[in-house]
Amino acid sequence: MMRSMFSGVSSLRAHQLRMDVIGNNIANVNTVGYKSSNVTFAETYSQTLAGASSSGASRGGTNPMQVGLGTNVSAVAVNHSKGSIQRTDIATDLMVDGSGFFMVTNDANAQNKFYTRAGNFAMDELGFLVTTDGYKVLDINFKPIQVNMSDTKKATATQDLTFSGNLNFNDEEYTTTVDLYDSLGDIHTLNINFGDNLFMTGTQPIDPLDPKINEVPAPTVAKYSYREMEFLNSDGTPIVLDPAEPIYAKFNEDGEIVDVVTLDTPGDPEGTDTAFAGTLTKLVAGASDIVLDIDRSMFFANADTDDVRIFTQYSQESDAKGVQLGGISAGTIDTFNISSKGEIIGIYTNGERKILQTLGLVDFDNPAGLMKLGANLFQDTPNSGTPKFGAPATGSFGAVTPGALEMSNVDLAAQFTDMITTQRGFQANSRVITTSDEILQELVNLKR
């Protein structure tokens, strides 16, 4: 008789604990990054009244006789499935779309690492990216992420010059301009004039740099045309190249750029030509002179490392333009954004963008083995497995969604259903106790 009463008591305790977990889940239905828990019951003990016996020649075997002694909570497991997405459009709100946890710390050397899925971060007065409780968010090198809003970028001089677009074969003259930066960040205008087209009446041996040489079968002779290139200051005065020779952009009969050359007889395309490689020096008062290489790489993408030509001479509208590379004015950081790869990108007033740091993530073989610490934080345990560190959108790690938050994964419908079954289970077991008490009362009343 006492067994049924204590079984009922053990079940009341188990159902009360389950109700506590359900109540906590419902309380955190709107908590950012919250992971719900669920309770699993298991039978506690069984009292063996008679053991099992094997069969014999005249009698069969018998099963054991056991009486259960109640229930117990076998596990309170955390459900790490992804919660719903809430768009906030706040730059520091982040969500991991997939596997991984953010890493945060509360000490200067980042020895204490904690993990969270709640990405409702903010910037403090020193530019550190922090949680609502002031924990600093770590990058892939376990350094606190900090955006120095006083950071500046010094000016750099223009280092290279490229030309892209088309030069109309029928244009007698075409001029384009490009702005160059000196070492102080000041802008200087350079004019580039392409003269009238000089074209051959006959053919000459094909240039080894002509892309037509790659045709099958390869031609042995070809026709070429030439455009003289002049470099002028903004006031129209010419800039003398080193070596000081007239130079020409050489095109094949398909309108493709071949080389930058000098002609044995300037202005005469019927002679021979020689590849040109020199420099242009633009004098600047009070700053370092701007020195640019002048050669065929000006007409190729990536400085002629992959033979991609970006300059043509077709019989269509001219849209050729010059682009300076490497030069920029001085600037200070204006704002920042965070990419899906976790890159903290600083945006400067001079238009430059720079990756300041990369957000770090961590993952575990068994996330359910993590220990909850409160404040949406987890800590690793011996059963969570070895932590794996990396950057967003690499390997098994999910990408980062900026301007959004992962909300609680609590399913209210499931929680209310569990609450009903828990309540009924509690009521049923309370009836077991009262019924056992009534039987005991009847037993006591046998002797009056």
* pLDDT tens digit sequence for 131-148: 999 999 999 999 999 998
Does any domain span residue 115? yes
**pLDDT, mean of residues 1-27:** 88
Does any domain span residue 53? no
> Which pLDDT does position 169 carry in this prediction?
94
Residue 152 pLDDT > 90, yes or no?
no
Does any domain span residue 149? no
Strand order in the sheet with 152-153: 152-153, 331-338, 343-348, 353-358
Quick one: 180 and 132 in the same domain?
A: no
Spatial contact of 233 and 190, defined as CB atoms under 8 Å apart: yes
Residue 47 pLDDT > 90, yes or no?
no
Quick one: 75 and 99 in the same domain?
A: no
What DSSP line would sit under 125-143, residue for residue? TTSBEE-TT-PEEBBTTS-
What is the number of other CB atoms lying within 10 angstroms of the CB of residue 131? 21
What is the number of other CB atoms lying within 10 angstroms of the CB of residue 434? 11
Helix then strand then coil, % of the chain, to nearest 5: 15, 40, 45
- Confidence bin at 448 (pLDDT 50/70/90): low
Reported as a single tens digit per residue, the pLDDT across 426-446 is 999 888 888 888 888 888 888
Q: E strands along 148-297, which residues? A: 152-153, 160-166, 174-181, 187-199, 204-205, 221-222, 224-232, 247-252, 257-263, 273-275, 278-282, 290-294
Does any domain span residue 136? yes
Spatial contact of 419 and 22, defined as CB atoms under 8 Å apart: yes
Quick one: 277 and 415 in the same domain?
A: no
Does any domain span residue 74? yes
- Confidence bin at 42 (pLDDT 50/70/90): confident
Residue with tokens 């702005």, as numbered in its chain: 179
CA geometry: angle at 267 spanning 263 and 268, to 5°? Answer: 70
Spatial contact of 83 and 411, defined as CB atoms under 8 Å apart: no
Quick one: 187 and 138 in the same domain?
A: no
Does any domain span residue 376? yes
> Which pLDDT does position 390 carry in this prediction?
95
Domain range enclosing 291: 160-325
Task: Tell how far CA 103 is from the center of its chain.
Answer: 15
Give this prediction's pTM: 0.70
CA atoms of 81 and 411, how far apart (whole Å) = 11
CA atoms of 114 and 111, how far apart (whole Å) = 10
- For residue 257, CA distances in Å to 26, 168, 252 come to 70, 13, 7
Averaged confidence pLDDT in the chain: 92
Reported as a single tens digit per residue, the pLDDT across 221-235 is 999 999 999 999 999
Phi, psi of 433 (to 5 degrees): -65, -45
What is the number of other CB atoms lying within 10 angstroms of the CB of residue 152? 12
Quick one: 211 and 292 in the same domain?
A: yes
Residue 163 pLDDT > 70, yes or no?
yes
Domain end marker among 325, 349, 381: 325
Quick one: 273 and 299 in the same domain?
A: yes
Reported as a single tens digit per residue, the pLDDT across 315-330 is 999 999 999 998 998 8
Domain end marker among 325, 340, 369: 325
Per the structure block, which two tokens stand in for 12? 């009341």
Quick one: 27 and 103 in the same domain?
A: no
- For residue 168, CA distances in Å to 231, 251, 296, 372, 403 come to 19, 12, 19, 70, 47
Spatial contact of 176 and 310, defined as CB atoms under 8 Å apart: no
DSSP 3-state of 173: coil
> Which pLDDT does position 438 carry in this prediction?
84
Domain end marker among 325, 347, 379: 325
Residue 45 pLDDT > 80, yes or no?
no
How many domains, in total, are found in the chain?
A: 3
> Which pLDDT does position 445 carry in this prediction?
85
Quick one: 175 and 302 in the same domain?
A: yes
Reported as a single tens digit per residue, the pLDDT across 175-230 is 999 999 999 999 999 999 999 999 988 888 999 999 999 898 989 999 999 999 99
Reported as a single tens digit per residue, the pLDDT across 271-284 is 899 999 999 999 99
Quick one: 165 and 283 in the same domain?
A: yes
Does any domain span residue 60? no
Quick one: 226 and 259 in the same domain?
A: yes
Quick one: 266 and 175 in the same domain?
A: yes
Residue 262 pLDDT > 70, yes or no?
yes
DSSP 3-state of 8: helix
CA atoms of 296 and 277, how far apart (whole Å) = 8
Residue 123 pLDDT > 60, yes or no?
yes
Quick one: 167 and 245 in the same domain?
A: yes
CA atoms of 444 and 373, how far apart (whole Å) = 51
Residue 1 pLDDT > 60, yes or no?
no
**pLDDT, mean of residues 338-366:** 93
Does any domain span residue 89? yes
